[in-house]
Structure 1
Amino acid sequence: MDDRAAISGTTRVFAILADPVAQVKSPQAVNRMASERGENSVLVPMQVAPADLARVVEGLRAVQSIGGFVVTVPHKSAVVDYCDTVSDAVRQVGAANVVTRSTDGRLHGHNLDGLGFVAGLRLGGIEPAGLSVYLAGAGGAACAIAFALAQAGVRSLTVYNRTPAKARQLLERLAEAYPGLATAVGTDNPSEHDLVVNATSLGMREGDALPCDASRLEAGQVVAEIIMEPALTPLLQAAKRQGCQTHPGVSMMEGQLEMIFQTLHRGG
């Protein structure tokens, strides 16, 4: 039976906001879960340009059948300004990837990215505790991942960002919460780390630059992505050539699927 035939005036609607949106995988997974669990709901992808985010969010706030929305690149940091309340994780990292809507139209921001990334590592047989980590990026997803890795007990964390000031700001916030963690602002050289993570959007579009100097990757390193499409990004291709173990971006979504589903359907 085609589940779309069951959509009615009582269907609870959720959205996923992104730009671009063609690469998202969570609608298929969340809608399958809803069908299997007898939930009368649907998650719909919506392509929203950054300039239109405020208008779209205010529109969704006014739609009474909207239960909330998932937020991905490039809106995770910007959407925080439109939330009425936010979780401790959102306050910590300055970004949200799930927003729930109360019946009165109030919006509540949550961040599950970091927990999802760590859960995805563990699903892939990679335990982050005790590892030295190189993290490319200092945006919303990178901040969430940095805090979750610190919570998971990594030995050290090096953050590289094309704007070094953003990397320093992230590490200053991290040092307040985890004063015993060894941290450093990095360069584009990812060598001498156990785990290399691309937490930028570089690799999503054809012709993107690599997020770090892939020629400096070393056999034995684990190289992890957060990009889901393409599944084998240029960084992961380079890592394979260097003899590294690779960890695909879809694992972060798989690691947080249940959390996303429960947060949307139960309101947090």
Structure 2
Amino acid sequence: MSDHQKAEKIPEKVNLITGKTRVFAILADPIYHVKTPQTMNAVFDAHGLDCVLVPFHVSPAGLPVLVEGLRKLQNFGGFIATVPHKPSMLALCDEVTDAARHIGAVNCVRREEDGRLVGTMLDGIGFVEAMRLRGADVSGMKVFLVGAGGASSAIAFGLADAGVSHITISNRSVVRAVELASRLTAAYPGLSVSTDDQDIEHHYLIVNGSTLGMQSSDAQPIDFTRIHATHLVADAIMEPAITPLLAAAQSKGATIFPGKPMLEAQILLMAKHMGALPQD
């Protein structure tokens, strides 16, 4: 078959990438699990935008070099940063929002025409909104949060802003848990915060904001035997869709909240911050 014949067989509905296409990216390590390209490109298509978002697999060591190169790409609009790059992006941006500064991490970056990078953090907003869309109002809840990294910090601040009454932070590094607790109490003096993670049962909402559960060999983020049917259990991990934590919670009759709706709830906010869609 000739190249001309192959070209004739391309379906009319395929969005062709041309020299006019505006390019966006997601940066991660590993990259296999990300769901953002499918979701964001569907948004671009729905809005009739000549844009594409592609996955970039970059290690932490290579992140500064890549980011510096992206500044120079004149048809590049911005990117989404995910595990493990969110905390590192804070220092690599020229400007960050107050939310990103409080949380200590960035997950969405806009490239200005002059190459300046403006970062924000939308994980917390997306998490709370995803729960609201499922009918769960977190106001007044006691929350048991696993993790103290970028995603967990964003979720913690999002929950605090939404009016939860208490957050217990459980993390492998106690120092990082204490540091996150200090930032939370500084920003929300009326919030009850603890790093004593021995008491799971008396919390209403359990959230895994760590990476534990992405690999089958991972340790359990919490002791699964302590989950009961009245818990709400959420996991920020996208792949697998049903993590071991969620599977265990489901088997106990608990209500579960998978990670992908969290992404879907913030995807429009990401498109707006990166300049693909107009700000409200």
- Where on the TM-score scale, by shorter chain, does this alignment land: which range? over 0.9
In 2, the alpha carbon distance for the partners of 1:208 and 1:220 equals 26
How far 1:2 sits from its partner (Å)?
A: 5.9
1:37-61 Cα deviation digits (max 9, x unpaired): 1111100011111111111111111
Deviation at 1:198, TM superposition (A): 0.0
CA offsets, 1:220-250, max 9 Å, x none?
1001000011011011111122221111011
CA distance 1:189–1:50, shift in 2 (3 Å): farther
Q: How far apart are 1:189 and its partner, in Å?
A: 4.8
Task: Say yes or no: does 1:12 pair with 2:17.
Answer: no
Match of 1:178 among 179, 188, 191: 188
Structure 2 residue aligned with 1:202: 212
Q: Does the alignment pair 1:28 with 2:38?
A: yes
> Whose Rg is larger?
2
Give the alignment of 1:1-268 within 5 angstroms. 1=11, 5-187=15-197, 189-264=199-274, 265-266=276-277
SS of 1:59's equivalent?
Answer: helix
Task: Give, in whole Å, the separation in 2 of the partners of 1:117 and 1:5.
Answer: 31
Asked if 1 retains the 8 angstrom alpha-carbon contact of 2:21 and 2:51, the reply is yes
Task: Kindly report the root-mean-square deviation, in angstroms, between the aligned alpha carbons of the 2 structures.
Answer: 1.4
Amino acid at match of 1:153: G
Whether the 8 Å CA contact 2:148–2:169 is kept in 1: the answer is yes
C-alpha distance after superposition, 1:132-185 (max 9, x if no partner): 000000001111111110110101111011111111111111111111111110
Q: Where in structure 2 are there 5+ consecutive unaligned residues?
A: 1-10
Alpha carbons 2:122, 2:270 under 8 Å: kept: yes
Letter in 2 for 1:64: Q
SS at match of 1:257: helix
Q: What is the total number of aligned residue pairs between the two structures?
A: 268
How far has the Cα of 1:188 moved from its partner? 5.6
Distance 1:188 1:68, change over 3 A: farther
C-alpha contact (below 8 Å) 2:90/2:101 kept by paired residues: no
SS of equivalent residue, structure 2 residue 247: helix
Instruction: Pick closer, same or farther for the CA change 1:200–1:175 going to 2, 3 Å.
Output: same
TM-score (norm 1): 0.96
For residues 253 and 2 of structure 1, the distance between their equivalents in structure 2, rounded to whole angstroms, comes to 29
Counterpart contact for 1:60–1:66, Cα < 8 Å: yes
> How big is the shift at 1:117?
0.4
State the identity %: 47
Cα deviation digits, residues 73-123 of structure 1 (max 9, x gap): 110001111100001111110101001101111111111110000001111
1:254 alignment partner AA: E
Following superposition, the deviation at residue 4 of structure 1 comes to 5.3
